[in-house]
């Protein structure tokens, strides 16, 4: 029987596609969940484009990391760049952020699931069942997880095409897309900017799994394509929802994307939203499995890194994440509070990590280059 090694690497297949798929799916993770009552005016489409450009800047910094020899060296690469203490500090900072991301996604998705699919079932069960499966997924190890993103990408990208019919609804009016430029100072516009930027966040976590991505020199190309696809999808869905609901009615709906699924009709099924939400689980499960592995990896960095990985260790890490998530869902996810506190918290945390992590890595690479030369 082969010893379990969750973080082993056997394949050296050079492919930028994994980075492309990962970036795109992680960027699409939030937008579907939290899209948002904050992005309700037509001129906010420009916010998507602006934040797409800002996201491209972060990805540019990230690509600088991929062209260095450090990612291919795994832990040693990080050690050379930050030193042992530096790695521990980074792991310590990352852990609460990962836990927050994990909890926020889990509870948000469970909330949608409860509201639209299974109102009779407690929200906590909607967290527990996918969590069990995501642990199973994570048990196959990081290498398998990274390449599984292809299945996830092709298993969920079709959802996007289901929104095409919303462009041909008879009641659509082009006037719903005006004004494209805001008239007068708009209150809280910064919040929508921040929301889009935080939705686009996530690729910074590729730093942690870069060892398994077998990065190559053209990584920026793949990251750019992924970012462009994400921005395209954001715009597409936003325009569809603006056309369908109109900018006056849109702010009154909590989950416009999901609600739109209810209006899709087929000769065999009604309430296509149930299928859409369930299919979206693919992306969601994958992300939480990836985060469980990252949480386990980060906790190992804080403890003993030389001991071999175990299934129990991974499951315990997952249970710790659950121990944070379940109480949040049970006691701290009250109507109103979720928008006011958790969404704000996630917005700030997501934006901060997306901006600061690549920047930190970039500065560290520059500093290292200067000291070695």
Partner 1 sequence: MTTISIEALKQRLALMEDAEVIVRETADGLRLTFIYLGSLIDQERLNESILEPLVRSFQNSVEKSLTTAKISSLSNLEQAFQYLMKGSVLIHDSSSGRWNAIMLPNSLGRSIETSETETIMFGPKDSFSELLEQNILLIRRRLPLTALKTERFSVGSLTQTTVVLMYIDGLINPEFVEVAKSKLSSIDFDMFLDSSHVAAFMEDHYHSIFPQYLQTDRPDSCAYALGIGKLVILVNNTPFALIAPITLFHLFQSPEDYINRWLVASFLRPLRYLSFLLSITLIPLYVALTTHHYQMLPLQILYVIIESRSKLPLSPFWEALIILVTLEIIKEASLRMPTKTSQNLGVIGGIVIGQAAVAAGFASKVLIVLAGISAISTFLVPNYLVTKSSLLLQFMFLILASYLGVPGILLGLVGMLAHLNGLTSLNQPYLAPVSPFYWRDWVDLFVRGPLHAMRNRPEALRPLNKYRMNRRSK
Contact region with partner 1 (CB under 8 A), list: 42-50, 204-212, 264-272, 308-316: 264-272
Asked if residue 13 binds partner 1 (CB under 8 A), the reply is: yes
Asked if residue 154 binds partner 1 (CB under 8 A), the reply is: yes
The correct pick among 1, 181, 268, 312 for binding partner 1 (CB under 8 A) is: 268
Residue closer to partner 1 by CB (options 17, 160) is 17
Q: Is 248 exposed, middle or buried (0-12, 13-18, 19+ CB in 10 A)?
A: exposed
Residue closer to partner 1 by CB (options 129, 263) is 129
Q: What's the rounded Cα separation, in Å, for the pair 104 and 241?
A: 24
| Residue whose pair of structure tokens reads 């980075």 in the numeric block | 19
Contact region with partner 1 (CB under 8 A), list: 201-209, 226-234, 261-269, 348-356: 261-269
Q: What's the rounded Cα separation, in Å, for the pair 125 and 140?
A: 24
Residue closer to partner 1 by CB (options 36, 130) is 130
The correct pick among 5, 37, 150, 339 for binding partner 1 (CB under 8 A) is: 150
Asked if residue 275 binds partner 1 (CB under 8 A), the reply is: yes
CA-closest candidate to residue 65, choices 181, 204, 167? 204
Residues in contact with 322: Cβ distance below 8 Å, sequence separation at least 6, in sequence order: 127, 128, 131
Count CB-CB contacts under 10 A for residue 76. 11
| Residue whose pair of structure tokens reads 């050690």 in the numeric block | 79
Provide the sign of the torsion angle of the four alpha carbons 281, 283, 148, 296, taken in this order.
negative
Q: What are phi and psi of 31, to 5 degrees?
A: -60, -40
The correct pick among 6, 7, 18, 326 for binding partner 1 (CB under 8 A) is: 18
Q: Is 168 exposed, middle or buried (0-12, 13-18, 19+ CB in 10 A)?
A: exposed
Asked if residue 147 binds partner 1 (CB under 8 A), the reply is: yes
Residue closer to partner 1 by CB (options 272, 302) is 272
Provide the sign of the torsion angle of the four alpha carbons 342, 111, 257, 100, taken in this order.
positive
The correct pick among 5, 8, 9, 15 for binding partner 1 (CB under 8 A) is: 15
The correct pick among 133, 319, 340, 341 for binding partner 1 (CB under 8 A) is: 133
Contact region with partner 1 (CB under 8 A), list: 62-70, 148-156, 166-174, 227-235: 148-156
State in angstroms the smallest separation of the CB of 223 from partner 1: 16
By the 8 A CB rule, do 15 and 149 touch? no
Provide the sign of the torsion angle of the four alpha carbons 367, 369, 371, 373, taken in this order.
negative
Contact region with partner 1 (CB under 8 A), list: 95-103, 134-142, 337-345, 363-371: 134-142
Residue closer to partner 1 by CB (options 1, 174) is 1
Q: What's the rounded Cα separation, in Å, for the pair 295 and 92?
A: 10
Residue closer to partner 1 by CB (options 114, 192) is 114
Count CB-CB contacts under 10 A for residue 297. 22
Binding-residue total with partner 1 (CB under 8 A) = 36
Q: What's the rounded Cα separation, in Å, for the pair 226 and 222?
A: 6
Asked if residue 4 binds partner 1 (CB under 8 A), the reply is: no
Residue closer to partner 1 by CB (options 211, 342) is 211
Q: What's the rounded Cα separation, in Å, for the pair 277 and 159?
A: 10
Contact region with partner 1 (CB under 8 A), list: 77-85, 111-119, 190-198, 332-340: 111-119
The correct pick among 26, 98, 113, 322 for binding partner 1 (CB under 8 A) is: 113
The correct pick among 117, 177, 225, 235 for binding partner 1 (CB under 8 A) is: 117
Q: What's the rounded Cα separation, in Å, for the pair 340 and 363?
A: 34
3-state helix, strand, coil split of the chain in percent (to 5) is 75, 0, 25
Residue closer to partner 1 by CB (options 3, 268) is 268
x/- map, 277-306, partner 1, by CB under 8 A:
xxx-xx--x---------------------
**Binding region for partner 1 (CB under 8 A):** 11, 13, 15, 17-18, 21, 113, 117-118, 129-130, 133, 136-137, 140, 144, 147-151, 154-155, 267-271, 274-275, 277-279, 281-282, 285
């Amino acid at each position: 029987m082969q010893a379990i090694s969750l973080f082993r690497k056997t394949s050296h297949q050079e492919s930028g596609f994994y980075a492309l798929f990962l970036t795109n799916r992680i960027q699409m993770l939030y937008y579907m969940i939290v899209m948002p009552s904050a992005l309700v005016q037509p001129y906010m489409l420009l916010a998507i484009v602006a934040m797409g450009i800002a996201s491209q800047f972060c990805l540019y910094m990230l690509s600088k990391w991929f062209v260095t020899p450090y990612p291919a060296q795994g832990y040693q690469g990080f050690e050379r760049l930050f030193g042992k203490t530096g790695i521990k500090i980074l792991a310590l900072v990352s852990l609460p952020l990962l836990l927050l991301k994990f909890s926020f996604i889990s509870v948000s998705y469970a909330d949608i699931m409860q509201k639209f699919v299974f109102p009779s079932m407690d929200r906590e069960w909607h967290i527990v069942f996918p969590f069990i499966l995501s642990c199973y997924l994570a048990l196959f190890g990081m290498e398998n997880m990274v390449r599984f993103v292809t299945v996830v990408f092709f298993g969920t990208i079709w959802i996007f095409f289901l929104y095409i019919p919303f462009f041909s609804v008879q009641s659509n009016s082009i006037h719903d897309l005006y004004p494209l430029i805001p008239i007068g100072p708009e209150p809280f516009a910064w919040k929508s900017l921040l929301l889009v930027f935080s939705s686009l966040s996530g690729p910074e976590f590729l730093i942690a799994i870069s060892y398994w991505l077998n990065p190559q020199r053209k990584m920026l190309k793949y990251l750019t394509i992924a970012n462009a696809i994400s921005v395209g999808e954001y715009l597409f869905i936003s325009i569809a929802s603006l056309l369908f609901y109109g900018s006056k009615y849109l702010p009154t709906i909590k989950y416009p994307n999901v609600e739109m699924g209810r209006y899709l009709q087929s000769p065999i099924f009604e309430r296509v939203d149930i299928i859409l939400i369930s299919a979206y689980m693919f992306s969601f499960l994958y992300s939480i499995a990836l985060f469980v592995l990252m949480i386990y990896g980060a906790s190992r960095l804080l403890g003993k890194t030389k001991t071999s990985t175990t299934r129990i260790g991974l499951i315990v890490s997952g249970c710790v994440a659950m121990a944070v998530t379940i109480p949040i869902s049970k006691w701290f996810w009250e109507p109103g509070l979720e928008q006011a506190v958790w969404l704000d918290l996630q917005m700030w945390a997501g934006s901060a990590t997306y901006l600061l992590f690549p920047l930190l890595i970039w500065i560290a690479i520059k500093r290292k280059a200067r000291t070695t030369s």
